[in-house]
Chain A
Amino acid sequence: MAAEAHKLAIFRGLLKFKSNQQKIWGVLIFLSIVTTIEVVLGIIKPEALLVSFLKMKILNWIFIILTLVKAYYIAWDFMHVRDEKSGLKNAIVLPLLILIPYLAFILLVEAVYIFDVMNSGFVAWNF
């Protein structure tokens, strides 16, 4: 029933597959490439990417962005979110998209503040 309803194009229609199986293998290849890039970057750690940007190394930002890219394709193509109605799509994605960055933001800001207090405070905590 739903077999014919799969949307077979990825990369905004740049890459179209003939069947669902083909799309699955295509997405696997794409995910493998991204993972390989991550691992290679993690092993060689290029000097140029170790510069700090917004409290974090550029390399780490690259890792996080690549992870989000992978998460998108796992959810959209393996979990078939791409084929769901937009109502269900939003019900799944929006709560996570709103709550997770919010929680990360408040906790990380607080952590940086605590680090500063401990780093420049008058009490010895590192003895």
Chain B
Amino acid sequence: MEVTANAAENEQVWGGGNRPLNASYGKMMMWFFIVSDALTFTGFLVSYGFSRFKNINTWPIADEVFTHFPFLHGIDAPMYYVALMTFILIFSSVTMVLAVDAGHHMQKAKVTFYMLLTIIGGAIFVGSQAWEWKNFIKGEYGALETKGGQILQFVDASTGKRAAIQEFALGIETERATHQSNKGVWYEDETALPTVSLAEVKKGFIADENLVIRTQELNEKGEKTVLSRAASLEKLNAAVGVVEGANLIHNEYGNRLFADFFFFITGFHGFHVFSGVVINIIIFFNVILGTYERRGHYEMVEKVGLYWHFVDLVWVFVFTFFYLV
């Protein structure tokens, strides 16, 4: 009796269709993907930590970089916006898990509704991230860069507030135009000139007695070092170029690696959110069409749900390491 029973079981094992860990094939594969993707994000975040500890006394202060909030122009609002984004993403995670729960009870209308809310939440998040990128790329105050890649920012000594180079620079008559390959020197091509030139910034700086330079170095209190007027004038000679905003090569906020990691980590995460939204939309339409109703279970919703929660999970870490720590 026993022997035959075993034989029957073995036949079933080799025939497939059984669930060794009580999880279906698709769900297990989603978990494998998530584990490997988690390690990819680990690589990014740990190398961010590496660069940061390597430049621990010159790293930019996130609170001074991300200070914008929609419709509050010129108001210093560090972190409020990312905090809002975090809440939006956590909330869309909740609607997703509610959709999964409704799927277990085969409630098609509820699954549809919660999936829709999840998609909207994800879309708002991606939009917010795009806005954040726009502000980061555009920059606010501008800075000078030295030969060694150090960033010199400007402070008004009388108020202690940051001074924008576009405002204090004094105009100089110049014939310097943007190099373009179709006119002038063919081998020199550049995308755009900064709105003010180095000479103009220098002239404006010398003319205004209140201006001093702020270097990248952090003092014992964890704030950026502000030089005296005399030291600033001397430091000004080290500058070789004007930086406005940020890209992968230059950034006005400080260490170049900061911008690189910002673009790569939030970009990689934003791409995950974007693809999550696309997958959610596909599943949403399948739900509406009744595909899973006919299939008899909503496991597909559960699988994309896992992915969506994972994206939320990663954001929790990105939020901590980029904005809080």
A residues apposed to B, CB below 8 Å: 1-3, 20-21, 24-25, 27-28, 31-32, 35, 38-39, 42-43, 50, 55, 60, 63-64, 66-67, 70-71, 74-75, 77-79, 84-85, 87-88, 91-92, 95-96, 99-100, 103-104, 107-108, 110-112, 114-115, 118-119, 125-127
Q: Are B104 and A96 in contact (CB under 8 A)?
A: no
Stretch of B36-44, B225-233, B281-289 at the chain-chain interface: B36-44
Secondary structure of the B contact surface, majority rule: helix
The residue in chain A whose Cβ has the minimal distance to the Cβ of B42 is A100
Interchain residue pairs with CB less than 8 A apart (6): A25-B94, A35-B83, A78-B96, A84-B22, A85-B21, A115-B57
Given contacts A20-B101, A107-B47, contact A127 B147 (CB under 8 A): yes
Q: Are A74 and B316 in contact (CB under 8 A)?
A: yes
Q: Are B51 and A111 in contact (CB under 8 A)?
A: yes
Number of interface residues of B (CB under 8 A): 60
Q: Are B313 and A87 in contact (CB under 8 A)?
A: no
Interface contact tally, CB-CB below 8 A: 144
Which residue of B55, B78, B90, B97 contacts A35 across the interface (Cβ within 8 Å)? B90
Q: Are A74 and B93 in contact (CB under 8 A)?
A: yes
Which residues of A sit under 8 angstroms from B319, Cβ to Cβ? 67
The residue in chain B whose Cβ has the minimal distance to the Cβ of A61 is B325
User: How distant is A78 from chain B, measured CB to nearest CB, in Å?
Assistant: 5
Which residues of B sit under 8 angstroms from A78, Cβ to Cβ? 93-94, 96-97, 305, 309, 312
Q: Are A115 and B222 in contact (CB under 8 A)?
A: no
Which residues of B sit under 8 angstroms from A43, Cβ to Cβ? 78-79
Which residues of A sit under 8 angstroms from B78, Cβ to Cβ? 43
